[in-house]
A and B are shown apart, each in its own frame.
Chain A
Amino acid sequence: MRRPDPKIVRWGILIALLVAWEVVPLTGLLPELFLPRLSKTLNVLWIDLDKYWNALLVTLYEVVLAMVIACGFGILAGTTIGGIAVLRDLLLPVFSSLYAIPIVILYPIFTAWFGIGSESKIMFAGIYGFFPVMLSTAAGIRTIDPQFLLAARSMGATVFQQITKVIIPASLPTVFGGLRIGGALAIIGVVVAEMLTASAGIGYLVTLNRTILDSPRVFAGILCILVLSVAYDIIARRLERRMVVWQSAGRRQQQTSPRPVSQGAPAPAAA
């Protein structure tokens, strides 16, 4: 018997999960307090659509600014540190050591400094995303083949042309990879921060409804965040593939398997 296409199996799993979400609470296997039915969750989402929409806008606003910080500074610092040998030897090991600190413990400092509004979330999520973006960019810059620069020089490229015509295009895959990771981490950071201490945003709604034991509204929030992060991932991946058409088939394949943590790539965030 031929095995069904993995893609079909994946859709099957997704549908099964959605059905289980509806059926399991109905059968009483799990009380509705733990897992309210899907239909009920969607229903409260529909009723409170305005509220969730506004919260989502707040979250998105924070995510976008955090992304700008994480990716902007991350790529800048990563290029500098990865590209200049002295800085690399000096700082890269230090940053990898600092990476061990659970950054979430800094969040109370941020709320004390910036208040419980959007600023503290933006700063926290920005820093949360900064480190992995910086480390992966630095690692990527180092993999640029020196032969490319030699060839460009032999054809008479000036230093400026070497940067614009070789170094920048050669580092695009790394930079896009960094952008994707930085964005994902910015979402994670903002959501965590909103859940911990906030006065607005989807994470805040989840926590607020949890304390009053309104499970359907908690799950409505969870659903929003799930959709947001999966949609982000799909869009970012599409964009990345379109911008970097020239990547060889081999490299593209590598990217569809989980990043090997052992090769200096940033590990997935667990938050």
Chain B
Amino acid sequence: MKYWHIILIRAAILALVLGAWELAPRWGLVNPMLLPPLSDVLVTLQIQLARPTVQEAILITALEVIVAFIIAVPIGAAAGVAIAEFPYAGAIFKPMLFYVFSIPKSIFLPMFILIFGIGFQQKVAYAAFTTAFVVLMSATAAVESVKSDYILVARSFGATPLQILRRVYVPSMMPVLLETLRISMIFNFTGVMIAEMYASRTGIGHLISNWGENFQMPQLFAGVIMLSVVAIAFNETVRYLEARCSTWRT
């Protein structure tokens, strides 16, 4: 299949889904109370975006996401590199990471609330906590993926540690690094959302959860659309950068 064929078919599928969303409630195939037509949702989205409370919520959520990310990445990366670089630490902690993977981290939310109360700090702390693990795991994998081969070659040419860092680690890890950031951001966003939906007085997650409880379906869908668009847009931007980096890498 040619590239533009693929794009065309995808566009057709998207149009089909969106069309069904618009028409099914209008024709009474589904209850419009449960699934409001797409156009209603988009109108609601426009109205909501103009409201100062919603704008404030967006701002707060954005701040939480950014701050949590800034805290989580260095901590997680440092721990990840440590585990990859020191085999003994790796032997101890790596098997433990699996349990960390399968434990629902949301069960620790009550602790964060007890310690930080219901506010900015609690959301940031919880999201950073969950994100740090993701960063840790992918950083370990990233370091291990470049370690042995390249470095041996670089050393044999007499490279200093600093040169190895600059000439080997950074360039060869660039695409992996972006991938790590991208995936971490997905989970960071999820972390903030869960924290806001669980207990909060503001933020988009809080609004969504309220709209759901009060059966305000157009508002709820408007919120979901907005968040999805932001998440996908971010994700695609980073993936685009990744692709750019990989072309000069190989």
Q: Is the CB of B193 within 8 A of A10?
A: no
- Residue B63 CB within 8 A of the other chain: no
- Residue B113 CB within 8 A of the other chain: yes
A152 to chain B, nearest CB (A): 28
Contact of A232 among B102, B186, B190, B234 (CB under 8 A): B102
- CB interface residues, B 180-207, toward A, < 8 Å: 180, 183, 186-191, 193-194, 197-198, 205
Q: Is the CB of B88 within 8 A of A258?
A: no
Q: Is the CB of A108 within 8 A of B208?
A: yes
Q: Is the CB of A97 within 8 A of B232?
A: yes
| Contact A105:B142 (CB < 8 A) given known A112-B217, A232-B102, A258-B137 | no
- Residue A249 CB within 8 A of the other chain: no
Interface centre among B108, B137, B176 (most CB of A within 10 A): B137
- The residues of B that contact A105 with a CB separation of less than 8 Å are 193, 197, 205, 208, 223-224, 227-228
Contact of B232 among A33, A101, A230 (CB under 8 A): A101
B117 to chain A, nearest CB (A): 12
CA distance A10 to B95 in the complex (A): 9
Per-residue B-contact encoding for A86-98, CB less than 8 Å = 1, 0 else: 1001100010011
Chain A interface extent, by class: 35 or more
Q: Is the CB of B10 within 8 A of A108?
A: no
- CB interface residues, A 98-118, toward B, < 8 Å: 98-109, 111-113
Interface centre among B102, B133, B183 (most CB of A within 10 A): B102
- Residue B50 CB within 8 A of the other chain: no
- The residues of B that contact A23 with a CB separation of less than 8 Å are none
| Total A-B Cβ pairs within 8 A | 202
CA distance A207 to B194 in the complex (A): 13
Q: Of all chain B residues, which has the CB nearest A271?
A: B106
- CB interface residues, A 163-181, toward B, < 8 Å: none
Contact of A270 among B180, B190, B217, B228 (CB under 8 A): B190
Q: Of all chain A residues, which has the CB nearest B221?
A: A109
Q: Is the CB of A97 within 8 A of B235?
A: yes
Q: Is the CB of B1 within 8 A of A225?
A: no
Q: Is the CB of A33 within 8 A of B114?
A: yes
A11 to chain B, nearest CB (A): 11
Chain B interface extent, by class: 35 or more
Q: Is the CB of B130 within 8 A of A270?
A: yes
Interface centre among A35, A197, A229 (most CB of B within 10 A): A229
- The residues of B that contact A98 with a CB separation of less than 8 Å are 232
Q: Is the CB of B190 within 8 A of A102?
A: yes
CA distance A222 to B232 in the complex (A): 33
- Residue B162 CB within 8 A of the other chain: no
A214 to chain B, nearest CB (A): 10
Show 29 A/B contacts (Cβ-Cβ < 8 Å), sorted by A: A13-B92, A99-B235, A100-B231, A104-B190, A105-B205, A108-B209, A108-B213, A108-B220, A109-B220, A109-B224, A187-B104, A188-B102, A196-B198, A206-B110, A207-B198, A210-B113, A215-B114, A225-B103, A230-B99, A232-B102, A256-B95, A259-B141, A260-B144, A261-B183, A262-B142, A268-B134, A270-B134, A270-B187, A270-B191
Further pairs besides A101-B232, A259-B141: 14, Cβ < 8 Å: A6-B91, A34-B115, A89-B1, A90-B10, A98-B232, A101-B227, A103-B190, A105-B197, A111-B213, A112-B34, A112-B215, A258-B141, A262-B141, A267-B186
